[in-house]
């Protein structure tokens, strides 16, 4: 049996950085990864997909160049092999950077293999047994495949496998109208495929307010994406030239099907029964405000704990655990103000409460909206789709939440994120003097238009 000061299971966005911090403190650490260092973000999420989004935007801009006085003769052709290779290069550069970093780190042992618990302090991997007083789980999540009629009879894609496509689908049917599905839908439409989005719920991006969801749908429809919401029945069958997707309202002749109906944590094959660690009905590991499980000496970080399936929340999990265990801190998950983005084009930047949540909270609230068509930067760029929205507490004057669907919305939202984390009241933020011409310069104006509801 090999002994360590700590064992980290999973090489995503929390575990490796925590392992590195512990090594800096002189600890002996084992990092176990069953496949690739970097987790979903580096290998099948943010980095490859946003690289693909960038290629798709380049194609879109080229096709619409005449609007800006730039005439490109002939048809805009897409070389999917080059597109795929570019995304793969970005991934490999990041992955190899991690490999090199850890290779030069004394005290770090990287083990590739499938770890399983033998007891709360012991794990087995590749026929070896390792033990440590502290074990950190950063095992991530994977796509959920729903039990739909005919699904096992077709060759479907997931968010993991679609990034390896080097040919262009004739017609891509996207099952699921949430964040992952919508990004791929617009991406492949811009590459030149016909695209249909099929969503069980009554609207796209169901977490958002209805006006945001409607605006997202308008953006996608304006680019020729076929959207079906409120679909109660879906079935698949092979056809002579692809896959037939039959719903209660439509019949779609697709060449490829992307299943984007959510993700589930990779906790079902860890041997958690041998530890007594509690999970919820979906398999997420239950943790307290410091990310500790119910079993002493075991923590869960990242997607597997159900507290925000984002790279930035996973990294913040690392920051919380490192601060508390290594720096004498007292940081809490409950102090985190959730923010995220949807990377369609234009992007959606979101922070804090939605309008629906704010109204349900019983607070006296104020709301302001502004269309992107009244933003100078948006008009200059010729990208005026979407709008800005902010919600504030009428009594405390604190900002409760905001949504910016529009050009640079994923960057502009950070001004509001920072203000909310600093506890700044919206009247104070109104006195800032932002740079012109930017989208951010409209934040004080947006705040000045807050009205009680």
Of 60, 164, 282, 436, catalytic: 436
Q: What value, to the nearest 5°, has the Cα angle with vertex 30 and ends 26 and 33?
A: 140
56 and 319 Cβ atoms separated by less than 8 Å: no
With H, G, I as helix, E, B as strand and everything else as coil, classify residue 210.
helix
Which class for 441: exposed (0-12), middle (13-18), buried (19 or more C-beta within 10 A)?
middle
Write down the residue that tokens 């001004």 correspond to.
Answer: 415
CA distances from 422 to 103, 335, 399, 413, 433 (A): 39, 12, 11, 14, 18
- How far is Cα 407 from Cα 387, in angstroms, rounded to an integer? 9
CA distances from 58 to 52, 165, 221 (A): 10, 18, 19
Map 337-348 to HEC letters: CCEEEECCCCCE
- How far is Cα 62 from Cα 72, in angstroms, rounded to an integer? 7
**How many distinct helices (H) and strands (E) make up the chain?**
12, 24
Is 171 among the residues known to form the active site? no
Hey, which residues are catalytic here? 436
């Amino acid at each position: 049996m090999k002994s360590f000061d700590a064992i980290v299971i999973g090489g995503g966005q929390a575990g490796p950085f925590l392992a590195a911090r512990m090594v800096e403190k002189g600890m002996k650490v084992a990092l176990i990864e069953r496949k690739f260092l970097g987790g979903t973000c580096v290998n099948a999420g943010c980095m490859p997909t946003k690289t693909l989004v960038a290629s798709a935007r380049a194609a879109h801009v080229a096709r619409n160049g005449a609007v800006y006085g730039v005439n490109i003769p002939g048809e805009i052709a897409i070389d999917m092999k080059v597109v795929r290779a570019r995304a793969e290069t970005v991934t490999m550069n990041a992955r190899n950077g991690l490999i090199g970093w850890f290779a030069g780190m004394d005290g770090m042992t990287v083990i590739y293999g499938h770890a399983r618990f033998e007891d709360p302090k012991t794990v087995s991997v590749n026929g070896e047994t390792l033990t440590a007083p502290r074990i950190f789980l950063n095992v991530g999540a994977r796509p959920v495949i729903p039990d739909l009629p005919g699904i096992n009879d077709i060759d479907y894609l997931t968010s993991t496998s679609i990034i390896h496509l080097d040919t262009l689908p004739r017609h891509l049917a996207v099952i699921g109208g949430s964040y992952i599905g919508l990004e791929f839908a617009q991406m492949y439409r811009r590459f030149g495929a016909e695209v249909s989005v099929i969503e069980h719920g009554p609207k796209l991006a169901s977490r958002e307010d209805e006006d945001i969801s409607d605006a997202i749908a308008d953006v996608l429809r304006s680019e020729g994406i076929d959207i079906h919401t409120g679909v109660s029945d879906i079935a698949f069958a092979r056809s002579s030239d692809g896959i037939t997707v039959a719903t209660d309202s439509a019949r779609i002749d697709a060449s490829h099907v992307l299943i984007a109906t959510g993700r589930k944590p990779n906790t079902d094959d860890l041997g958690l029964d041998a530890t007594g660690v509690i999970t919820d009905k979906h398999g997420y590991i239950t943790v307290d405000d410091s990310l500790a499980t119910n079993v002493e000496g075991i923590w869960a970080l990242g997607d597997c704990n159900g507290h925000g399936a984002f790279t930035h929340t996973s990294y913040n999990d690392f920051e919380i655990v490192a601060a508390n265990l290594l720096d004498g801190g007292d940081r809490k998950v409950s102090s985190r103000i959730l923010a995220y983005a949807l990377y369609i084009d234009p992007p959606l930047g979101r922070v804090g409460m939605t309008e629906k949540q704010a109204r349900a909270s019983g607070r006296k609230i104020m709301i302001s909206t502004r269309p992107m068509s009244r933003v100078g930067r948006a008009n200059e760029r010729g990208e005026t789709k979407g709008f800005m929205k902010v919600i504030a507490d009428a009594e405390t004057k604190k900002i409760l939440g905001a949504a910016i669907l529009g050009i640079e919305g994923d960057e502009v939202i950070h001004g509001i994120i920072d203000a909310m984390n600093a506890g700044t009241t919206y009247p104070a933020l109104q006195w800032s003097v932002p740079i012109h011409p930017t989208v951010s310069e409209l934040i004080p104006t947006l705040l000045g238009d807050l009205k009680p509801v």
